[in-house]
Structure 1
Amino acid sequence: MIKVEEKLFQNRYRVDAGRPHIEIRNADICQHSCTSKPCTVCCPAACYTREGDGRVTLITDGCLECGTCRIICNEHGNVDWHYPRGGYGVLFKFG
């Protein structure tokens, strides 16, 4: 049986250096207002990481462009999300 992680590994991601398609609008909201930090557990590509001091870091490399972070952060509206420029972002191997 093939695991999800093995299938995700077969996808490729073309990084658009210096032009992330997702940004955290206000880091203070993540650190102080958002106690559960759901983005750090709901993102299927693990782009969000909870740091020991309560900060949330975002690395968009490998993002699946699913929009989960936009939905899960709806309470705070702290995610600025748009599709990457053409030719960049996730390149799915299996369609």
Structure 2
Amino acid sequence: MIQIAEKLYQNRYRVDEGRPHIKIKDQHICSLCHDKSCTVLCPAGCYQRGEGNTVSLVTDGCLECGTCQVICLEHRNILWEYPRGGFGILYKFG
């Protein structure tokens, strides 16, 4: 069975240095979130549990699916916009 990491490796991601297209608005709100669903449900694994009940975000490899926005609807703590043209996910077969 092919692992998800192997499938994600088929895609490429062009990083827009210094200009991430997703940001956590307020880290304090993340610390109050009990289940931290974003750390489990993001298909690209961009969100990780951090020290002290925080959430860290690395946008490299983001699939731009918008799942994080839906997961965080209750708190509305995600600032999400499309990457600038030419940056972001570059699908190999599409």
TM-score interval w.r.t. the shorter chain? over 0.9
- Matched residue count: 94
Whether 2:57 is the aligned partner of 1:74: answer: no
Consecutive aligned runs of 4 or more in structure 1 exceeding 2 Å deviation: 1-5
- In the alignment, residue 91 of structure 2 is paired with which amino acid? F
Other-structure match for 1:90: 89
* Structure 2 portions without partners, runs of 5+: none
Name the CA distance, whole Å, in 2 between partners of 1:39 and 1:64.
14
Other-structure match for 2:9: 9
Q: Please list, as runs of the form range in 1=range in 2, the aligned pairs for 1:4-83 lying within 5 A after superposition.
A: 4-31=4-31, 33-83=32-82
* Structure 1 portions without partners, runs of 5+: none
RMSD between aligned alpha carbons? 1.0
- In the alignment, residue 65 of structure 1 is paired with which amino acid? E
Name the CA distance, whole Å, in 1 between partners of 2:4 and 2:58.
20
Normalising by structure 2, what TM-score? 0.94
Q: Name the SS for the 1:62 alignment partner.
A: coil
1:13-38 CA distances to partner (integer Å, 9 max, x unpaired)?
0000010000000000001x211000
Cα displacement (A) at 1:3 = 3.6
- In the alignment, residue 16 of structure 1 is paired with which amino acid? D
